[in-house]
Structure 1
Amino acid sequence: MIYFDNAATTRPYPEVLATYTEIASKIWGNPSSLHRLGNQAHRFLEASRKQVADLLGKDPQEIVFTSGGTEADNWIIKGVAFEKQNFGRHILISAVEHPAVAESAQWLVGQGFEVEQIPVDKTGQVDLERFAAQIRPDTILVSVMAVNNEIGRIQPIPEMARILEAWPKVSLHVDAVQALGKLDVSLFLPERVDFASFSAHKFHGLRGAGFAYLKKGKRLSPLLTGGGQEGERRSTTENLAGIGAMAKALRLSMEEREFVQERLAAIKSSLLQELAKYEDVELFSDLDGHSDNILTFGIKGVRGEVLLHALEAYDIFVSTTSACSAKAGKPAGTLIAMGIPGNRASSAVRLSFSRENTMAQVEQFLTTFKLIYQQTRKVR
C-alpha cells in the first residue's frame, strides 16, 4: 500500500498510540475533580499545555485545547466577531480558506457582519497590495491559512503581519493546521498573530484533539459554555489522553522536521520532474513558495475522482481536493480562485506526503501512473 493522502490525516506515531493508552489507563481522573485523582489529571493536563507552549515559544496560558482545527477555526472566527462587534463588523478572509473558516465567516453574514475575500494571484498567493487596500476602520478580523490544503501554497504571513502593524485593533488569525511540523514556526506565528488553529492528526497525533493559540490579552466570546474548563474559555471535560498524545506527537514531529522535509522535498521534486514529461498532465503545485508535502496535478480531460479510483485499484491512496470537500463533489476551490476554469480544476488530484513515504514508493507510483495514463488515451 502507498498512502499519499497525509494532508487529510496522518498515521499516528507508534509512541503516540502507546502514550494515549498509558494515559487513558493510568490517569483517568477528571482534571476538574478536587480529589487526588483529579489533581493528578490536572497536573498532567498542565504539563502537556506547557510542553506545547514551549515547542511554539509561547506562554502556556496562550494555549487552549480543542477537539481539532475545525472547532478552533469556528471558535476564533465567531468568537472574535461577537467580542468586537461594537468596534466594527467587517471581516477579511482569503479567497482560498478551508471550509471551517469560509463557512464560519459566511454564517456570520447572516448575523449582520460583512465578509470580504482577499483575492489571490495565479499561484494561489494572497495579493498583498489588494489586501492592504481592503483594510478599513471598521475591520475587526483578518483570517488566512498558512499552508493551503489543496495545493500547498505558503501564504506570506510575516508580510501580512507587517501590513497590519498600522492597524493594531485588527485581529489576525492564522489557520496553521497544515503548517505545524512542516514549516519553521516563525513563518506562520510571528509576533503580530493574535490567534491560530492547530489539529493533532495532521502531525501524527490522534483525531479528536487540537488546540488554539490565543495571544495573552486577547479576548474571545466562548463557543462552548458550561463547566468553565480551560480558564472558562472552552467548557467541556478535557480529552486528557488525546491531549497528552498530541503533545508527544508535536515534540516528535518538530524534532525530526528538518530531516523529514529533506526527504519530502526530494520526493516532490522527483514526482514533479517525471509528471512534467506527460503532454496532458497539468501541474497545479510547484517547489518555489509551496510546502514540500503537497503536490497537486491533473490529467486533462480526466476527472480527478476517476484517477483517484484508478490508483486505488493498485492500493495507492490519494485525494481529489481537500478531504472535507471531496465527498461533496466540489472542484478544488483554490484552483477556481486562481482563475483556473472548472473543467480543468475538476481534474485535480492531490498527493500529500509524510515521514513514512519513500523514493521506492515514488517509483512504484510512477510505474502505475504510466499505465493508467495510457489507459485514459481515449478520454483525453
Structure 2
Amino acid sequence: MEVYFDNSATTRVLEPVRDLMVKVMMEDYGNPSAKHKKGMEAEQYVKEAAEIIAGTLKVSPKEILFTSGGSESNNMALIETAMANKRAGNHIISTGIEHASVYNPLAFLEEQGFSVTYLPVNEKGHVSLEALEAAIRPETILVSIMYVNNEIGAIEPVEAIAKVIKKKNPAILFHVDAIQAYGKLVIRPKRQGIDLLSASAHKFHGPKGVGFLYIDQRVKIKPLIYGGGQQRGLRSGTENVPGIAAMGEAAKLIYTDHGEKIRALVSLKDYMIERLSEIDGVTVNSLPGDQSAPQIVSASFSGTRSEVLLHALEEKGIYVSSGSACSSNHPAVSGTLKGIGVKTELLDSTLRFSFGISNTKEEIDYCIDMLKELLPVLRRYQRG
C-alpha cells in the first residue's frame, strides 16, 4: 500500500490539469508575444488563467503576476517592494516562523541597510497584535506575515493584522505568503487588507515551476527581471504558457465545490489527531477543526528521531515530512517548533502529515497501525 501524506511539500497534478498542459505544449504552442494566430491562442491561455485566479480572489486580472513559483513570488514581494519604497523608510516587520523564501530575502535586505523586526508567536503559533502594533515605527514600509504556517498549520489572523497596520499607517504595505493557504482557505485580499499575496501551483494540484503574485494596483514595486517587457514590464521573459494555463485549471478545479473539499480535509485532519492520541509519547502540535489549516498535522514522537521514523514509514510505503521540504537542504532546528514552545528533546522528533483531496481515512488507519508497530522497536533501538 502506498500512502502519500506529504501534500504540503507538493501535490499530485490533477488529470484535467495534466491534459491541458500537454495540449498547450503539443498543439497551442505559440509564443504569446507573437502577432499571428498561434501567438494569440497562447496569449488567450494566459489571459484566461489570470481571470480564473483573479476570480477566486475577487481582484482584477491585471493584479495577477505570473512567476516561477512561491519562492520567486516571495522574493519579488519583499526585495522589489522594499527597493521601490526605500525613500519612505527602511524598516520591515516579519515573524519568527516564516519560510526560508521569506527569511533569506529579508537577510539580503538587511545587508542592503534595511532593518527587520521578527515578531515571536504564542504556543498556538499566532502573532500578537499588541506586539505588532508596538513594533511599527515611522520608518516602517512593509510587513510580511505568512497566512498558514507550513509546519504546524497555524492560521494567522491576517484581517486583524491588516487593521493594526493600516490604523497605524495606511501607507505600510502588507505582504502575505499564502503558499499553504491558497486553495485551502477563502481569501479576499481587498476585504482583508492584503497588498501583496504569494501562491504556488504545485501546492494545489497544479504543476511545479509556476506560481503567482497578487499585487494591488496601488503598490509601487520594481521589476525583478528586465527584458522584453512582458507582464506590463514587471517580469520580462516569455511566459510559461503550459504552466500558467495548467495553474489556472488547477485553481478552477480546487475552488469548485470548495467547501465540500475543505470539510473532507478537516475531517481527515481531525481523525488523524484522534488516532494519534491512541499512541503513547505522541504530542500533536496542530489544532483541530477550523482552528488551524485543514491539511496539516504536526506531531512529535518521544524517544525517536524524526528522520529515522520518516524512513521507517517510507519502507512501509508511507511518505511524510520531517519539516518544510524547501528547507530540507539546510537542516536546522525549526524556528516554528521552538517558537510555539515544543520541548527541546522533541524538536528533532517531529513529523508533518499533510493531506490532499484524494487521501482517505483507510490510509490514516494504515499509517497509525504502522506507527504502533514501528515506534516500540525504534524507541528500544534509540535507548540502546
* Fold agreement, TM-score > 0.5: yes
Q: Could you tell which deviates more after superposition, 65-74 or 118-127?
A: 118-127
Tell me the residue number matched to 1:336: 338
Distance 2:328 2:151 in 1: 11
1:11-46 Cα offsets, whole Å, 9 max, x none, are 000000000011111211111122332222222321
Tell me the residue number matched to 1:238: 239
Tell me the residue number matched to 2:123: 122
1:217-270 Cα offsets, whole Å, 9 max, x none, are 212111111111100001111000110010000000011322222222221112
Is it true that 1:175 corresponds to 2:177 in the alignment?
yes
Tell me the residue number matched to 1:25: 26
1:154-187 Cα offsets, whole Å, 9 max, x none, are 000010011122111100000011111111114x
Amino acid paired to 1:231: R
Q: What does residue range 1-380 of structure 1 map to in structure 2 within 5 Å?
A: 1-166=2-167, 167-186=169-188, 190-287=191-288, 289-378=291-380, 379=382
Instruction: Tell me the TM-score normalized by structure 2.
Output: 0.96
Equivalent pair of 1:161/1:190 in contact (CA under 8 Å): no
Give the match's secondary structure for 1:185.
Answer: coil
Equivalent pair of 1:89/1:138 in contact (CA under 8 Å): yes
Equivalent pair of 1:146/1:157 in contact (CA under 8 Å): yes
Residue 189 of structure 1: how far off its partner (Å): 6.2
Distance 1:206 1:190 in 2: 29
Give the match's secondary structure for 1:204.
Answer: coil
The structure-2 alpha-carbon separation of the partners of 1:81 and 1:359, relative to structure 1 and needing over 3 Å to count, comes to same
Equivalent pair of 1:147/1:178 in contact (CA under 8 Å): yes
Distance 1:342 1:190 in 2: 40
1:190-224 Cα offsets, whole Å, 9 max, x none, are 34111000100000000011110000121211111
* Structure 1 segments (4+ residues) deviating >4 Å: none
Distance 2:195 2:182 in 1: 16
The structure-2 alpha-carbon separation of the partners of 1:140 and 1:89, relative to structure 1 and needing over 3 Å to count, comes to same
State the identity as a percent: 37
Instruction: Compute the RMSD of aligned alpha carbons.
Output: 1.3
Equivalent pair of 2:304/2:379 in contact (CA under 8 Å): no
1:40-87 Cα offsets, whole Å, 9 max, x none, are 222232122112112221101100100111000001100111001011
Distance 1:57 1:25 in 2: 32
Amino acid paired to 2:356: S
Instruction: Tell me the TM-score normalized by structure 1.
Output: 0.97
Give the match's secondary structure for 1:260.
Answer: helix
Equivalent pair of 2:90/2:141 in contact (CA under 8 Å): yes
Equivalent pair of 2:296/2:355 in contact (CA under 8 Å): yes
Give the match's secondary structure for 2:326.
Answer: helix
Give the match's secondary structure for 2:35.
Answer: coil
Give the match's secondary structure for 1:124.
Answer: coil
Distance 2:190 2:12 in 1: 25
